[in-house]
């Protein structure tokens, strides 16, 4: 009965209630978006790589190396010798090594040159291996395995032929048109940058870059050539798995002082922490701003309720005469505030979810962010809980005002 | 008219019993009301008149428990009302006292039906009973049936006052307190209103205290009291 009364009371003050609703809706949308994306972005980044002990690349910043080798963001400043990869692979402390050669693209998606070990040792999420949706690993020089999103967005199937371009622009003019790659497999979705990657052999990358006469010769004799014998002189990075985790720092030190090549080894976890530290300040700033916006709109709510108090004097009087105690009047005002806040929260959740569903493709291609549209995470529920408490606190002022008015009411003769 | 209205109830003999009552508004040095003894029999209807400031309204507020006496005792329906806690007084009022005031009797944005149901909710009358009784009351008060679903602020002042009677009687209160209900009505509407009020009050067996300064209404009531006589403040 009281909830219904609060609802009708809100309805009777449509204009100010709708404005307050929008103020709350906007501020809650900002708050929930910031909280949700903050946590999801971390999750999304953290689950991209798992089980890799060290990433080796040319010396630059460790964040830079992490971003271009794992997240396909930015470009490598320098390359490392292919010979270093061979030597590392044979190192007794190393369990496995995956070579990574970047630099080409196909319609805006990055092409990754690697070998078959990639499908065996690369892990993401909770130690999950890459799985094939259809098809299998590449074998020949001009074969490619597509990430889930590449195949889905560009509508490729097994057996399709793809031409890769030099560079990473969506419309590279320097196309390796003579040497199309055949799709042999499509990977299952992972929710990581792997979904947006075309995987080819190192031999394929090297061959595609050969001068035209050499390439024609090679194409003519393709079946007779062992793909392992063609390799580039340099690659972009190496992902390493070690036999013992305890040797991680030793190996890292050895690699940083490697005599035959200029190398830098990083621990993905440490680099990730550096990334969080970097984004942490910005994150906190965003949270602070969204909090202030929320507080401003809650003050608006309180103002709206206080302003209605004059108009409510008669109503409060009627309710008191009907036998409602001052406590009932007090909770009625609180109920109105909470109703309004919950309504706005529901609208905000719906709005954000809808946006995330619509924008998820764009977020993943542009920023490598895989954000779930499910808003009911611990963080957002916590944020909502705090908002309810804040709403009650700000509604206390008008509620106390109503309580006082309730105590002073009675029959007032005007004569 | 209906079985429910004629329902016999074991109502106490005395509806109102006031002894040695004294009241002054907080912060004011002069007492507002001083009443040695006043007793109203159950089922009586009393016309209480007097000038402004004679204490009529104060008396009504004391009777419905919104104000607390400084001294003395108010017994309603053989219960010492003035000793009860605020919450108990609110409950007692919801169940046993119906109030109609000069204006603004209804919650403007609620329908007539909701307004009446709200009174029943606080008076803890069962919803099944309410539906039937509301129909009868509205019919008896010459309110069209469709007005049930009209918002209170869509009704004319006269209609609003009649809904206020229905609202005040829905819990079949033993005591009905009415304060200047006709001051916003014209002459013919006023007479019709009073006749209806008296008839319905009698039907539900309520004790009626009717406060007004309009002496021409006096003839409708069984007994008639001047507030100046009741309030012994001036005789001291």
With a CB cutoff of 8 Å and minimum separation 6, the contacts of A298 are A24, A390, A391, A394
Q: A32 and A71 share a domain? A: no
Model confidence at A172: pLDDT above 60: no
In a domain, A225, yes or no: yes
A415 touches chain B (CB under 8 A): yes
Q: A214 and A184 share a domain? A: yes
Residue with the larger pLDDT of the pair B183 and A83: A83
The boundaries of the domain holding residue A388 are 2-46+279-414
Q: What is the mean pLDDT of each run of 10 residues along chain B (236 residues)?
A: 45 83 82 87 90 84 88 89 88 92 89 93 89 90 88 90 92 91 84 90 91 87 88 64
Residue of chain A whose alpha carbon sits nearest to that of B52: A415
| Contact criterion met (CB below 8 Å) for A346 and A21 | no
Q: Which residue in B94, B118, B164 has the most chain A C-beta atoms within 10 A of its own C-beta, making it the best mutation to test that interface?
A: B118
C-alpha separations of B204 from A77, B16, B114, B176 in Å: 95, 17, 22, 10
In a domain, A271, yes or no: no
Chain B positions contacting chain A at CB under 8 Å are 52, 56-57, 60-61, 64, 66-67, 86-87, 90-91, 93-95, 99, 101-102, 104-110, 114, 117-119, 121-123, 177, 179-180, 183, 211, 213
Q: ipTM of the assembly?
A: 0.89
Partners of B105 on chain A (C-beta within 8 Å) are 318
- In tens, the pLDDT along A311-359 reads 888 899 999 999 898 999 999 999 999 999 999 999 999 999 999 889 8
Cβ-defined contact of A410 to B56 (cutoff 8 Å): no
Q: Structure tokens of A240?
A: 């390493």
Residue in this structure with the two tokens 């700033």, named with its chain if needed = A285
Q: A160 and A23 share a domain? A: no
Rounded to an integer, the average pLDDT of A186-211 is 87
Residue of chain B whose alpha carbon sits nearest to that of A314: B104
Q: A99 and A162 share a domain? A: yes
Residue % of chain A over a pLDDT of 70: 95
Last residue within a domain, chosen from A245, A266, A287: A266
Pick from B104, B109, B122: CB nearest A323: B122
Residue with the larger pLDDT of the pair B12 and A77: A77
Partners of A310 on chain B (C-beta within 8 Å) are none
Residue B236 CA to residue B233 CA, distance in Å, equals: 6
A11 touches chain B (CB under 8 A): yes
Q: A347 and A379 share a domain? A: yes
A245 touches chain B (CB under 8 A): no
Q: What is the structure's pLDDT at B8?
A: 43
Q: A183 and A301 share a domain? A: no
Q: A194 and A303 share a domain? A: no
C-alpha separations of A288 from A31, A34, A379 in Å: 9, 10, 15
Give me the numbers of helices (H) and strands (E) for chain A, helices first please. 13, 15
Last residue within a domain, chosen from A266, A294, A326: A266
Q: A206 and A307 share a domain? A: no
Q: A35 and A59 share a domain? A: no
In a domain, A272, yes or no: no
Last residue within a domain, chosen from A205, A240, A266: A266
A411 touches chain B (CB under 8 A): yes
Q: What is the structure's pLDDT at A95?
A: 93
Determine how β-strand B45-49 pairs with β-strand B207-212: parallel
Q: What is the structure's pLDDT at B68?
A: 87
Task: State how far residue B195 is from chain A, nearest Cα, in angstroms.
Answer: 22
Q: Which residue in A323, A324, A327, A403 has the most chain B C-beta atoms within 10 A of its own C-beta, making it the best mutation to test that interface?
A: A323
Q: A285 and A226 share a domain? A: no
Domain count, chain A: 2
Cβ-defined contact of B61 to A321 (cutoff 8 Å): no
Partners of B109 on chain A (C-beta within 8 Å) are 8-9, 11-12
Q: Structure tokens of A304?
A: 């709206």
- What DSSP line would sit under chain B, residue for residue? --HHHH------SEEEEEEEEEE--TT-SS-SEEEEEEEEETT-EEEEE--TTSSHHHHHHHHTTSS--SEEEEEETTEEGGGS-HHHHHHHHHHHEEEE-SS--S-TTSBHHHHHHHHHHHHT--HHHHHHHHHHHHHHTT--GGGGGSBGGGS-HHHHHHHHHHHHHTT--SEEEEESTTTTS-HHHHHHHHHHHHHHHHHTT-EEEEEES-GGGGGGSSEEEEHHHH-TTTT-
Cβ-defined contact of A322 to B61 (cutoff 8 Å): no
Most confident of A190-204, A294-308, A363-377: A294-308
Residue of chain B whose alpha carbon sits nearest to that of A413: B57
A15 touches chain B (CB under 8 A): no
Q: What is the structure's pLDDT at B1?
A: 42
A3 touches chain B (CB under 8 A): no
C-alpha separations of A361 from A75, A196, A355, A366, A375 in Å: 22, 11, 11, 8, 17
Q: A126 and A38 share a domain? A: no
Q: A339 and A384 share a domain? A: yes
């Amino acid at each position: 009965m009281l909830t219904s009364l609060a609802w009708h009371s809100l309805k009777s003050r449509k204009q100010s209630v709708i404005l307050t609703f929008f103020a709350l809706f906007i501020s809650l949308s900002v708050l929930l978006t910031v909280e949700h994306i903050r946590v999801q972005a971390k999750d999304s980044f953290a689950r991209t790589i798992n089980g890799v002990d060290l990433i080796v690349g040319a010396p630059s910043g460790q964040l830079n190396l992490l971003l271009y080798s794992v997240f396909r963001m930015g470009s490598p400043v320098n390359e490392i010798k292919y010979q270093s990869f061979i030597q590392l692979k044979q190192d007794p402390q190393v369990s496995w090594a995956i070579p990574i050669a970047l630099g080409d693209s196909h319609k805006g998606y990055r092409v990754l040159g690697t070998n078959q070990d990639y499908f065996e040792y690369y892990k993401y999420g909770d130690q999950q291996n890459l799985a094939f949706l259809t098809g299998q690993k590449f074998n020949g020089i001009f074969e490619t395995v597509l990430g889930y999103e590449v195949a889905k967005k560009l509508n490729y199937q097994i057996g399709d032929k793809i031409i890769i371009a030099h560079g990473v622009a969506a419309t590279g003019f320097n196309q390796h048109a003579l040497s199309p790659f055949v799709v042999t497999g499509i990977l299952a979705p992972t929710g990581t940058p792997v979904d947006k990657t075309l995987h080819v052999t190192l031999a394929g990358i090297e061959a595609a870059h050969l001068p035209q006469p050499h390439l024609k010769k090679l194409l003519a004799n393709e079946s007779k050539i062992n793909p392992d014998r063609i390799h580039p002189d340099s690659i972009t990075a190496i992902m390493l798995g070690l036999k013992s985790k305890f040797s991680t720092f030793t190996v890292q030190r050895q690699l940083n002082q490697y005599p035959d090549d200029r190398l830098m080894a990083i621990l993905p976890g440490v680099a990730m922490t550096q990334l969080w530290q970097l984004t942490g300040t910005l994150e906190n700033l965003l949270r602070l701003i969204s909090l202030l916006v929320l507080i401003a709109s809650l003050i608006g709510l309180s103002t709206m309720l206080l302003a209605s108090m004059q108009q409510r004097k008669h109503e409060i009087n009627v309710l008191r005469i009907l036998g409602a105690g001052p406590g009932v009047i007090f909770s009625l005002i609180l109920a109105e505030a909470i109703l309004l806040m919950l309504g706005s929260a529901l609208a905000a959740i719906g709005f954000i979810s809808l946006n995330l569903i619509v924008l998820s493709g764009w977020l993943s291609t542009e920023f490598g962010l895989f954000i779930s549209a499910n808003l009911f995470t611990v963080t957002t529920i916590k944020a909502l809980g705090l908002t309810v408490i804040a709403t009650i606190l700000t509604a206390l002022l008008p509620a106390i005002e109503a309580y006082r008015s309730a105590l002073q009411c009675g029959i007032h003769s005007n004569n | 008219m209906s079985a429910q209205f004629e329902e016999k109830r074991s109502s106490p003999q005395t509806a109102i019993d006031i002894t040695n009552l004294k009241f002054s508004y907080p912060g004011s040095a002069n007492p507002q009301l001083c009443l040695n003894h006043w007793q109203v029999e159950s089922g009586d209807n009393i016309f209480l008149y007097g000038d402004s400031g004679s204490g009529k309204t104060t008396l009504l507020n004391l009777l419905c428990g919104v104000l607390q006496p400084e001294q003395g005792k108010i017994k309603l329906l053989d219960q010492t009302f003035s000793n009860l806690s605020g919450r108990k007084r609110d409950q007692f009022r919801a169940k046993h006292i119906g109030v109609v005031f000069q204006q603004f009797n209804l919650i403007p944005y609620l329908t007539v039906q909701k307004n009446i149901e709200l009174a029943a909710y606080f008076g803890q009358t069962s919803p099944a009973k309410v539906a039937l009784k509301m129909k009868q009351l509205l019919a008896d008060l010459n309110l069209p049936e469709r007005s049930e679903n009209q918002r209170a602020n869509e009704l004319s002042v006269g209609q609003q006052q009649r809904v206020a009677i229905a609202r005040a009687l829905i819990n079949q209160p033993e005591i009905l307190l009415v304060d200047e209900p006709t001051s916003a009505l014209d002459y013919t509407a006023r007479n019709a209103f009073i006749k209806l009020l008296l008839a319905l009050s009698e039907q539900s067996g309520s004790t009626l205290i009717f406060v007004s300064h309009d002496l021409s209404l006096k003839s409708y009531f069984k007994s008639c009291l001047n507030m100046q006589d009741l309030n012994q403040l001036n005789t001291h």
